[in-house]
């Protein structure tokens, strides 16, 4: 990871290049997504942890007894008695555990989004440089060769990042799918408003994570495939025979866009959402059959 980010720092374009080719749009999108992720994490953490407190207070208000509800059903080494001090200690421990889990997931998501944004930036930069080429000029051949070398560096970098993030992506997609399924089942079976609201918050939070991964996977596919299009679109017919051969070789290399992979089996794109939806439908159907059997 450190070597990959060191390479990114070395090849990152200057501010003049960013301004010339309007590359700041990729960084602006990343900043917006980062803010959205942080705000959604804070809101979800607060709602998930304090909904049990609100439910206990509401029960105390109506029935005169505090329920000592926790964030989730947990088996403690020392049973939770109706002691306010024990309740506070266990509540703080569970809140810290939830915070560590959420912040670790958030860190992985932000890192993945930043890497994909940077890769899209470089693919976009190469595409715009190709469109600026004038094959009739003698310098165009050297510029095209440099673009091909830069493209190879970006591809190697993208493959390294793909190998790094592949385990976390498959874990995120699978865990989010199971949580979405079980939360949906809980909403259908829950009767209390606070319980339904808590499950709904988890559904929105996990669905956001799945959509985000698939969306940026699709952006990477679109950005990498754009190079093949611009190679054909620019006026390559005016170039020399050597220039045309390099263009043909680059088109063969870029014909297949780069994609994020789940352990080399499946590509991450907006099509992945359909697979997640079918998986959720399959799990819901199994749960419905088990419920009817019981």
Q: Provide the domain count of the chain.
A: 1
Q: What is the pLDDT of residue 202?
A: 75
From CA 8, how far away is CA 12, in angstroms rounded? Answer: 6
- Which residue range is the domain that position 134 belongs to? 2-293
Q: What is the pLDDT of residue 272?
A: 63
Over residues 219-254, the pLDDT tens digits come to 888 999 999 999 988 888 888 889 999 999 989 888
The residue among 175, 151, 141, 163 whose CA lies nearest residue 243 is 141
From CA 252, how far away is CA 44, in angstroms rounded? Answer: 46
pTM for this entry: 0.81
From CA 126, how far away is CA 178, in angstroms rounded? Answer: 40
Q: Answer yes or no: is pLDDT of 218 > 90.
A: no
From CA 25, how far away is CA 118, in angstroms rounded? Answer: 11
Q: Which residue's structure tokens are 């450190």?
A: 2
Q: Outline where the chain has alpha helix (H).
A: 2-11, 15-20, 24-63, 84-132, 139-189, 193-233, 241-254, 271-293
Q: What is the pLDDT of residue 112?
A: 87
Tokens of 176: 């989010």
From CA 123, how far away is CA 226, in angstroms rounded? Answer: 8
Reported confidence tier of residue 278, pLDDT bands at 50, 70, 90: low
Which residues are registered as beta bridge partners of 268? 260
Over residues 67-94, the pLDDT tens digits come to 777 777 777 777 777 777 888 888 888 8
């Amino acid at each position: 990871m450190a070597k990959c980010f060191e390479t990114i720092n070395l090849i990152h374009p200057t501010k003049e290049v960013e301004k010339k080719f309007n590359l700041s749009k990729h960084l602006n999108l990343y900043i917006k997504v980062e803010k959205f992720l942080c705000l959604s994490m804070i809101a979800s953490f607060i709602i998930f942890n304090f909904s049990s407190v609100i439910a206990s207070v509401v029960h105390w208000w109506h029935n005169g007894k505090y329920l000592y509800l926790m964030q989730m059903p947990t088996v403690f080494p020392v049973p939770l008695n109706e002691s306010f001090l024990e309740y506070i200690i266990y509540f703080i421990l569970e809140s810290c555990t939830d915070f560590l889990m959420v912040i670790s997931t958030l860190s992985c998501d932000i890192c993945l989004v930043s890497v994909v944004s940077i890769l899209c930036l470089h693919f976009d930069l190469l595409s715009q440089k190709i469109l600026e080429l004038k094959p009739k000029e003698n310098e165009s051949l050297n510029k095209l060769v440099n673009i091909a070398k830069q493209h190879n560096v970006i591809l190697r970098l993208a493959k390294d990042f793909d190998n790094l993030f592949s385990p976390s992506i498959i874990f995120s997609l699978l865990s989010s799918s199971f949580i979405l399924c079980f939360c949906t089942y809980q909403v259908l079976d829950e009767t209390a408003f606070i319980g339904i609201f808590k499950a709904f918050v988890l559904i929105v939070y996990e669905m956001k994570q799945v959509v985000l991964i698939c969306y940026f996977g699709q952006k990477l596919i679109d950005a990498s495939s754009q190079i093949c299009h611009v190679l054909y679109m620019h006026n390559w017919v005016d170039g020399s025979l050597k220039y045309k051969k390099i263009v043909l070789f680059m088109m063969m290399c870029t014909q297949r866009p780069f994609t994020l992979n789940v352990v080399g089996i499946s590509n991450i794109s907006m099509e992945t959402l359909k697979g997640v939806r079918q998986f959720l439908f399959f799990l819901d159907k199994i749960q419905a059959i088990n419920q009817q059997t019981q």
